[in-house]
Amino acid sequence: MTDNIISIQYDSDIAKGNEAVRISFYANMGFFIEVAQMFEFNLRKLICYERSVKEIEQGEITKENVERICAKYDRYYDDTYLGKSKFTLGKLINESKNDSSIPKEFFDFLDELNEFRVNLVHKIFQNNIIIHDFDSAEFVLEYTNKRIIPMTNKAIEINRAIIGIIDLYRSDLQDYKAQVGFPLPS
């Protein structure tokens, strides 16, 4: 039997003198990054489902058209996720602004979310080399409680709404596939 030992790596200059605040900061930052990644995943899915359904509805609903359109957006998904034209969260937000059914008021938050993600992931530690704000446990605690946690909670809430929209388009797409004789997953 082995003991349950966990290892956590971190910069000991962050929240100097208060390991609990430091660990909380890193844990909340990691969870925010997870939520932002799920946002990126769901925006990509929404774009593909929504565009597929809208394109199917614009033309004749035949097996060939449904198959061609679904293949087109399967390629789009792969290209923007794994391909040469991989889309970042910011690019997906801009792409979804063009023709998405996401309520307009969500886009202000999506832009704020992306900007916060970029700062958190790419700039916070670089800036701390010069400014040293994150050396202070009080500053780190306040930043975690007033910035990271509220941003994460709002992102979770809006992500749930986006999943609801995805589910509606997925259902429509499955209906069109069923109409033209595609076997549906069980």
Q: Which pLDDT band holds residue 186 (cuts at 50, 70, 90)? A: low
- CA-nearest of 169, 176, 161, 146 to 109 is 161
Higher pLDDT residue, 4 or 49? 49
List pLDDT tens digits, range 22-55: 999 999 999 999 999 999 999 999 999 999 999 9
CA distance 75 to 64: 16
* Separation of CA 135 from chain center: 29
- Alpha helices in the chain, H assignment, sequence order: 19-58, 63-81, 89-99, 104-118, 124-131, 137-143, 149-179
- Give the pLDDT confidence score for residue 90 in this predicted structure: 92
pLDDT in tens, 74-132: 999 999 998 888 899 999 999 998 888 888 888 889 999 999 999 998 888 888 788 88
Task: Give the three-state DSSP class for 101.
Answer: coil
pLDDT at 1: 54
List Cβ neighbours of 18 (8 Å cut-off, separation of 6 or more).
137, 140, 141
Highest mean pLDDT among 10-24, 91-105, 123-137, 165-179: 165-179
The closest alpha carbon to 56, from 75, 76, 70, belongs to 70
Report the alpha-carbon distance of residue 96 to residue 129 in Å, rounded: 36
